[in-house]
Amino acid sequence: MTHTTLSTDFIAFAIQKQVLRFGEFKTKAGRLSPYFFNAGLFNDGDSLLKLGEFYAHSIQQSGLQFDMLFGPAYKGIPLVTAISIAFARNGHNYPYAYNRKEAKDHGEGGTLVGAPLQGRVLIIDDVISAGTSIRESVQLIRQTGATPCAVSIALDRQEKGLGALSAVQEVEQSNGMPVVSIANVSDLFAYLQGNPQLAQYFPAIQAYRAQYCIA
């Protein structure tokens, strides 16, 4: 499966599940976006299974080398679980872990759940906006002596961060590791161009892309 096929199938899947919607939505940055992506709406077993498979295919295509998976709370928890299952179904049994937002003061205690963080750790998230979740994950992983090696996300909005770089590129530059995505806004742009039923949303996304996204 090529990247184009994977991204096209993923966008169609996200639209079908109403995870990717069109209209007018206010982003964390205060921008009025003509589309909205909410991975939390992959909220049943079948959707989560397919989402995990999309991630696994994207990660395999990227050629990333890693030893385990890490999902930051909260959205990263079901994501990392689904992805580890998808890999196991294909013969790759990776350990995974996630964190709690609040430290547990009884039982096993601490903020980490799952396999011990060690080796090269691949961080899983849905999107990157300000990169806060990734920075916190990188710090947590390094504190254990493990190495954060890359980030895998579902959708790269390709929006500018604090300067000329996109938020994703800023994360790559500041942490010295790659970020791979199943699809990005350029893929969405191409998908809309080839889909007459969604043509009405094309001009708004074109204008938003020209104003806020990297070239």
Q: Give catalytic residue positions.
A: 104, 106
Distances (CA, A) of 141 to 35, 144, 178, 190: 33, 5, 16, 37
CB 213 within 8 A of CB 185: yes
User: In whole angstroms, what is the distance from residue 92 CA to residue 80 CA?
Assistant: 14
Asked whether the CA dihedral 104, 105, 110, 113 is positive or negative, the reply is negative
Tokens of 180: 């791979």
Peptide bond connecting 55 to the previous residue in cis, omega within 30 degrees of 0: no
CB-CB contact of 190 with 196 (8 Å): no
Task: Pull the structure tokens for residue 176.
Answer: 């010295």
Evaluate the CA torsion angle 210, 165, 169, 35 in order and state its sign.
negative
CA 167 to chain centroid, in Å, comes to: 13
